[in-house]
Amino acid sequence: METEKLNILIIGSTGNGKSTLGNFMLNAEMFQSGPGMIAVTAEVTKETRTIQGVDLTVIDTVGFSDDLGPLENHLEQISQALDVCTGGINAVVFAIKASERFTTAISDVLTEMYQTSDLWDHCFVVFTNAKGLGNTDAEQTSKVPKQLTDERCPESLKTLLDKVQQRYVVVESKDDMGDNYHATKMSQIFQMVNNIKQHTPGPYTNRSFQLAFSKYKDAKEKERTKEIQQQEQQRLLEEQKKQLEQQQKQLEEERQRREEEQKRQEEELQRKLEGEIRRTAELQRQREEEERRRRRKRKRSSNKCVIS
């Protein structure tokens, strides 16, 4: 009888325990993992081992992070990872460190991804670092994290669990919890994969992903073109507004200039008129003075005639 082959792809945000989970699944130190603030896994890596009679191939990926840039880059790297197995992927694990906050950075990526891909039908969540929730023994580390039933559970996390049809496993994948723990957890993980197998027509391939991805890219391209057109329209409108304001300013300046010129001309005319009036009055005064002088002279000469 042929051995069952399963391909599991692990995705998630950087530092959420993807590589450690990969090592846990394969029960060997195959992938490099580590603490700290800098992303460890820098490229997609594939490793295979036989676990519970299954030829299990785990594909570890570069974590979602700001360093990856826009969502397109995140999707591109998922696309590359999906190409690693020719037969397709039986299940995609979304790794979330249960001990850490579910940040908006993750949910933003997810919200965009929901629109873009049908990958969720093949996906289940693994909450890693179960011990980090304060659980110590094997039984406790399998419990549903209290946060999931808390009314303050982030909507984005609830949506993610809805998207994966409430398929999730809680695992302590770093600390050695013994062979029984490993066997139990791997059985749970294989159950998830079987559940996915039952509910999907076949393994998930990069072709399906690319279809959704190209639709997404087209939509984004249209969005960008629309945005550029809107910006261009806005720019033109603002330019027209500026021109109009400039014209109005020029018209106003012209009106003021004309008003001032008219005022100046009126004042000039007024001055001329007043000068003319003054000159006429002076002439009049001089004429009267001359007349008076002439009269006095005539009077004097007529008096002289009378005396002689």
Ligand X SMILES: Nc1nc2c(ncn2[C@@H]2O[C@H](COP(=O)(O)OP(=O)(O)OP(=O)(O)O)[C@@H](O)[C@H]2O)c(=O)[nH]1
Residues that bind Mg ion (CB under 5 A): 18-19, 40-41
Q: By C-beta, is 98 or 216 nearer to ligand X? A: 98
| Residue 16 is a binding residue for ligand X (CB under 6 A) | yes
Instruction: Enumerate residues 6+ apart whose C-beta is below 8 A from 84.
Output: 9, 44, 46, 59
Q: By C-beta, is 103 or 246 nearer to Mg ion? A: 103
In the complex, least distance from residue 86 CB atom to ligand X, rounded to whole angstroms:
24
Q: By C-beta, is 82 or 216 nearer to ligand X? A: 82
Name which of residues 43 to 82 contact ligand X (CB under 6 A). Answer: 63
**Residue with the shortest CB distance to Mg ion:** 41
| Residue 19 is a binding residue for ligand X (CB under 6 A) | yes
In the complex, least distance from residue 152 CB atom to ligand X, rounded to whole angstroms:
23
Compute CA distances 43 → 40, 52, 183, 248, whole Å.
Answer: 9, 28, 29, 62
Task: Please identify which residue in the block is written with the tokens 């066997």.
Answer: 183
Dihedral of the CA atoms 26, 166, 206, 51 (nearest 10)?
Answer: 20
Nearest-angstrom CA–CA distance, 7 and 92: 9
In the complex, least distance from residue 70 CB atom to ligand X, rounded to whole angstroms:
18
Q: Given the rule CB under 6 A, which of 33-41, 100-108, 150-158, 259-267 is the region that contacts ligand X?
A: 33-41
| Residue 40 is a binding residue for ligand X (CB under 6 A) | yes
| Residue 41 is a binding residue for ligand X (CB under 6 A) | yes
| Residue 201 is a binding residue for ligand X (CB under 6 A) | no
Quick one: which of 57, 117, 173, 206 contacts ligand X (CB under 6 A)? Answer: 173
Do 60 and 34 meet the contact criterion of CB atoms below 8 Å apart?
A: no
Quick one: which of 172, 186, 209, 216 contacts ligand X (CB under 6 A)? Answer: 172
Q: By C-beta, is 175 or 260 nearer to ligand X? A: 175
| Residue 138 is a binding residue for ligand X (CB under 6 A) | no
| Residue 141 is a binding residue for ligand X (CB under 6 A) | no
Nearest-angstrom CA–CA distance, 196 and 93: 11
Residue 203 touches which member of Mg ion, ligand X, none, C-beta under 5-8 Å by kind: none
Quick one: which of 6, 7, 17, 30 contacts ligand X (CB under 6 A)? Answer: 17
In the complex, least distance from residue 18 CB atom to Mg ion, rounded to whole angstroms:
5
Q: Given the rule CB under 6 A, which of 38-46, 190-198, 241-249, 286-294 is the region that contacts ligand X?
A: 38-46
Nearest-angstrom CA–CA distance, 99 and 107: 16
Compute CA distances 22 → 15, 41, 185, 261, 292, whole Å.
Answer: 13, 12, 13, 88, 133
| Residue 93 is a binding residue for ligand X (CB under 6 A) | no
| Residue 188 is a binding residue for ligand X (CB under 6 A) | no
Nearest-angstrom CA–CA distance, 184 and 189: 9
Give me the residues that bind ligand X (CB under 6 A), please. Answer: 14-20, 33-35, 39-41, 63, 128-129, 131-132, 172-175
